[in-house]
Structure 1
Amino acid sequence: MDAAPLLGDGYGGDYAPARTYKEFKQIVWSETVKTWLISGPVIFQIVCQYGTNSVTNIFAGQLGELELSGISIAISVIATFAFGFMFGMGSATETLCGQAFGAGQIHMLGVYMQRSWVIMLVCALLITPVYVFATPILKLLGQQDDVAELAGSFSVLILPQLFSFVVAFPTQKFLQAQSKVWALAWIGFGALMVHVLMLWLFIFQLGWGTTGAGLALNISGWGIAIAQVIYVFGWCSDAWRGFSWLAFKDLWGFVQLSFSSAIMFCLEIWYMSSIVVLAGHLPNAVISVDSLSICMNLNGWENIIFIGVNVAMSVRVSNELGKGRPRAAMYSVYVTIAESLILGLLFMVLIFFVKDHFAVIFTSSVAVQKYVAKLAYLLGITMVLNSVQPVISGVAIGAGWQALVAYINLACYYIFGLPLGIVLGYVAKFGVKGLWGGMIAGIAMQTLLLLLVLYKTNWNKEVEETSGRMQKWTGQDIQRDNRAES
């Protein structure tokens, strides 16, 4: 039995309004457990995924400075661009699978996954020229010729990894919608262990150099994709009913939702990445970029936690809306935002306490350490904002608001935040602090607007729209069926 009181208002199994402290505490505890049971394994999976690229860079560093630079650029620029776009395209599957699972239309999950495979394959083919022409692209972006040439050849070498995303990402969303996240976590952990072994074997024992590193990335990528598919075929018989021609039906509507998701996701990734590029054109660029990179590294580790919360929020909201439980979706959102904000504040306080010391882990340069200490206050504020923003993005994916959030991101990040950062950094001569301060202003505006959207949200109407979406894709009135069951 659910720990929180239930309401018989036509929505089966929904929460009742919390009128006493005891009821409020029950709801908070219930939602906390549900959220972290999903986000915990997802965080572990992302750490393993992040570790795969990190370990590759570590092994590449043993080959030489040129090899390290070339492989790092190929992974951080070319592969990350492709990863971000493909991952975003998969978010449509996350929305529809989560809502269909909540609505009890479990058989549709397999159809949505196959439909996403078709669309993602086309996207991979469209992105392929970026890998093939990586060398001239990198030279155009200002990379040294020798680094750009090595990075370009390595990008072509890891092209098969791109096509592993076609299979892996929709399958991942398919499993997450059903909260089967531990399977993904263990597959990711196994892939990381095998990846390390392959790097050691290919680079040190067989002497294959950068070719060995690329081969290891391809095998790891396809190993994860194949392992996930095997799990789906073998242990998800309710949601996987075999291949279907329905995968080719209503592709355009699916493409629209997928593209909105990709734009929303990519605008967020590129925004924080652009500050490092801009810092490279400031006076004393080496210290500026090194200091900023250290701060972004720590911010990236915090982001791993909140990406896990983002996924959990998407699953919770989409499932509850699919089930016709508006109040459960609303409480889940508010509880998770409050807890994430508390975590963000704790990270900020921790950064403030160790601001004079944490840079020692990354560099022995006293000048860089002092500059990092000056940037620590901006890092702390960023961590607070980045604790709330991913939660709201997860709500957007779960509710299908990707297009709205993409417009908000475009306005706040690229029309307001980025120009303000350039003015403060270059015109007002505040340097990195100005660049970062302007970008923080953009994130703050985006967060406030999204909080306003949440405040104005009519969750009963969201249930109706979810029912309409499911009726469009499945031909059944899900809201009517949910009410009939209650």
Structure 2
Amino acid sequence: MEEERGLVEKTKGSGGEDELQVRTFNDAIRVFTEESKKQWMLVAPIAMTALFTYGINSSVQIFAGQLSALQLSAVSTALTLCSNLTSGFLLSMGSALETLSGQAVGAGQVGMLSIYMQRTWIILIISSILMLPIFIFATPILSILGQQPDIAFLAGRFALLILPHQFAMAISYPSQKFLLTQSKVLPLAFIAFISLALHLCALWFFTSVLEWGSTGAAIAFDVSSCAMAIFQVIYIMLWCKDAWNGFSWFAFKDLWPFMKLSLSSAFMLLLTDWYGALVVFLAGLLNNAQVTVASVSIWLNITTWEYMLVTGFMSATSVRLSNELGSGRPRAGKYAIIVSALTTLFIGLFSSALILASWNKFPLLFTSSKEVQDSASTAVYLLATSVMIICIQSTLTGAITGSGWQGLVAYINLGCYYLLGLPLGAAFGFLFHWDWQGIWTGTMCGSITQTLVLIIMVCKTNWKGQVAVAERRLQFWSGEDQ
């Protein structure tokens, strides 16, 4: 533990004086302007990174939609089960790294970041190995869940082909958190852009030149995912000498406590990811499953694009809050949350209005099937409402991650999503015969409830007390209390 103490003492610093209290309208304008500049310096590259990264995923679905409604349903189901769920689990496990690293940067303990990242690499690689059966037995799993045989077979085949993506993400996600918490976001955006360009070239080559269909799309998906992970690691090792101290055996110490911290983070975000996935599975149990699953997939694709757009504010809020708490500046952290909330609220209003204005146009981007287009164009006010909720949740999730409340919020998500939202969705969809729009309505009620609970939670928090919590957390993980 002496080496770890040395890393802490070598970089220890202070955050300085806290932000002045807002007393007048001019004070509010000043704080909003200054904080907005700080956040947009993070948000723009982060949003670009998220959009480029999701573009890799979405382009595969768009390609499948041009083949047939069956291929779109199968590829969407496979990506939901294996990519979104298992990769979502890995990303969620990395949330603990974001909390620790962000607060360590604020406290000046930059030297500990490489240890935290390497511990997360180890944990995520082990987790990927444990999740292999989900990929191998995807077809029988989907069949048990009630998916139609043709969709289950094609989805299971696609799941096996994208297995390398899983291990690439086990390296990529911690690398992203490592760079993000140090506000080194421009390199992330550049790497994501290069990876998307490589993906599109590979997609064209394997599908148009070699004519390998969905198999070629899966190979292109794997190639771009592995390339992104390799590029990130190379950048860290060559250009992050202040935080990268080389590989260390100390990464294997305290793995179990770190695993428990990561799992509490994972359950919070994973329950949200599974929530969206279960909407797809419930829709697959309705009549005319190909059309309903394709329609729900289009709506989920839209909401995911919106999520990727505002995920910059989620990450920026987390980084700004965790840095300020680590620096002992609670008021500055609180103001960061407020500024982010106001900005994402405006983005949500604009995006919802855009969806309502293009209600019969956006399905054309995803499918050539007239039946699916008509289905996805129905009751789009539900989609607009969901987009608004996503924007508000982005700030709240950032505040939760920056504060390290993932374990508590996991229980909130469990109650709101699975004890309220899903039962309501099943009732509206199957008992009231509101079709897939009923399933969407019920699950949206769970999301609204969760959002209201988190708003109350954030508003009533004593941020000065959170500074002390952050200090104790860093002392424990750096070994200073031993």
Contact 1:422/1:435, CA 8 A, preserved across alignment? yes
Take 1:450 and 1:466, find their aligned partners in 2: how far apart are those partners? Answer: 20
Q: Deviations over 1:404-455 (max 9, x none)?
A: 1111000111111221222233333333443222222211111111111111
**C-alpha spacing 1:401/1:129, structure 2 compared with 1 (3 Å):** same
**Residues of 1 paired with 2:347 and 2:43: CA distance?**
14
Q: Which amino acid aligns with 1:280?
A: G
Secondary structure at the counterpart of residue 14 of structure 1: coil
Unaligned runs of 5+ in 1: 1-9, 478-486
Q: 1:269 aligns with which of 273, 293, 308?
A: 273
Distance 2:215 2:366 in 1: 28
Q: What is the distance in 1 between the residues matched to 2:74 and 2:437? A: 29
Which amino acid is 1:442 matched to? G
- Separation in structure 1 between the aligned mates of residue 157 and residue 233 of structure 2, nearest angstrom: 30
State the Cα deviation string for residues 170-202 of structure 1 (Å, max 9, x = none): 111000000111111111111111122223333
AA in 2 matched with 1:110: S
Q: Does the C-alpha gap of structure 1 residues 403 and 163 become closer, same or farther in structure 2, counting only changes over 3 Å?
A: same
CA offset digits 1:288-323 (Å, max 9, x no partner) = 445444433322221111222111111111111111
Q: In structure 1, which of residues 160, 173, 179 is the aligned counterpart of residue 183 of structure 2?
A: 179
Specify whether residues 471 and 267 from structure 1 end up closer, same or farther in structure 2 by C-alpha distance, changes over 3 A only: same
- C-alpha contact 1:99 1:320 (8 A) present in aligned 2: yes
- 2:5 is aligned to none
| 2:21 equivalent to 1:12 | no
For 1:110-121, list aligned pairs within 5 A.
Answer: 110-121=114-125
Residue 201 and residue 309 in structure 1: after superposition, are their counterparts in 2 closer, same or farther (change >3 A)? same
SS of 1:15 mapped into structure 2: coil
| Corresponding residue of 1:156 | 160
Q: Identity, % of aligned pairs?
A: 46
Deviation at residue 69 of structure 1 after TM alignment: 5.6
Distance in 2 between residues matched to 1:281 and 1:143, nearest whole Å: 7
**Distance (Å, rounded) in 2 between the aligned partners of 1:162 and 1:383:** 28
Change (3 A) 1:223 1:265: same
- Shift of the alpha carbon at 1:111? 0.5
Contact 2:65 2:368 in 1 (8 A): no
Q: What does residue 202 of structure 2 align with? A: 198
The answer to whether structure 1 residue 241 and structure 2 residue 245 are counterparts is yes
Would you say 1:95 and 2:99 are equivalent positions? yes
Instruction: Tell me if the contact between 1:102 and 1:318 (Cα under 8 Å) persists in the aligned partners.
Output: yes
Report matched runs for 1:18-33 at 5 Å.
18-33=22-37
Is contact 2:66–2:367 with CA below 8 Å preserved after alignment?
no
Tell me what 1:3 maps to: none
Distance 1:72 1:384 in 2: 24
- In the alignment, structure 2 segments of 5+ residues that lack a partner are 1-13
Rounded to whole Å, the distance in 1 between the matches of 2:325 and 2:263 is: 22
Matched-pair contact (CA < 8 Å) for 1:39–1:308:
yes
Match of 2:23, SS state, is coil
2:7 aligned partner: none
CA distance in 1, matches of 2:446, 2:405: 20
Q: Equivalent residue for 2:306? A: 302
Deviation at 1:332, TM superposition (A): 0.3
Q: Confirm or deny: 8 A CA contact 2:321 2:403 kept in the other structure.
A: yes
Mapping of 1:22-421 within 5 angstroms? Answer: 22-59=26-63, 70-206=74-210, 210-282=214-286, 288-355=292-359, 357-359=361-363, 361=365, 372=376, 374-421=378-425
Deviation at 1:461, TM superposition (A): 0.6
Deviates more, 1:438-447 or 1:345-354: 345-354
Structure-2 separation of matches of 1:165 and 1:366:
36
Distance across 1 between alignment mates of 2:331 and 2:20: 8
Q: Which residue of 1 aligns with 2:435?
A: 431
Secondary structure, in 3 states, of the residue corresponding to 2:131?
helix
The code of the aligned residue for 2:242 comes to D
In the alignment, is the contact (CA less than 8 A) between 1:89 and 1:258 conserved in 2?
yes
Cα distance in structure 2, aligned partners of 1:359 and 1:59: 14
Which stretch shifts more, 450-459 or 34-43? 34-43
Q: How far apart are the structure 2 equivalents of 1:15 and 1:358?
A: 44
Pair 214,420 (structure 1): closer, same or farther in 2 beyond 3 Å: closer
Mapped partners of 1:135, 1:282: distance in 2: 19
Contact 1:59 1:199 in 2 (8 A): no
> How far apart are 1:134 and its partner, in Å?
1.9
- 1:481 is aligned to none
**Relative to structure 1, is the Cα distance of residues 224 and 366 closer, same or farther in structure 2, using a 3 angstrom cutoff?**
closer
Question: Residue 44 of structure 1: CA displacement?
Answer: 1.1
CA contact (8 A) 2:128 2:167 kept: yes
CA contact under 8 A between 1:133 and 1:152: conserved in structure 2? yes
The two structures, once aligned, show a CA RMSD in angstroms of: 2.6
Secondary structure at 1:457 match in 2: coil
User: Structure 1 pair 353/11, CA: closer, same or farther in 2 (3 Å)?
Assistant: same
Cα distance in 1 for residues equivalent to 2:99 and 2:213 = 41
For the residues of structure 2 that align with 1:65 and 1:361, how far apart are their CA atoms?
13
* Offset at residue 210 of structure 1 (A): 5.0
- CA gap 1:428/1:141 in 2 versus in 1, 3 angstroms: closer
CA drift at 1:273:
2.8
- Comparing 291-300 with 11-20, greater Cα deviation is found at 291-300
TM-score (norm: length of structure 2)? 0.89
TM-score (norm 1): 0.89
Provide the C-alpha distance between the structure 2 equivalents of 1:86 and 1:391, rounded to a whole number of angstroms. 21
Secondary structure at the aligned position of 1:241 is classed as coil
CA–CA distance in structure 2, aligned partners of residues 293 and 366 of structure 1: 15
The alpha carbon displacement at 1:373 in A equals: 5.0
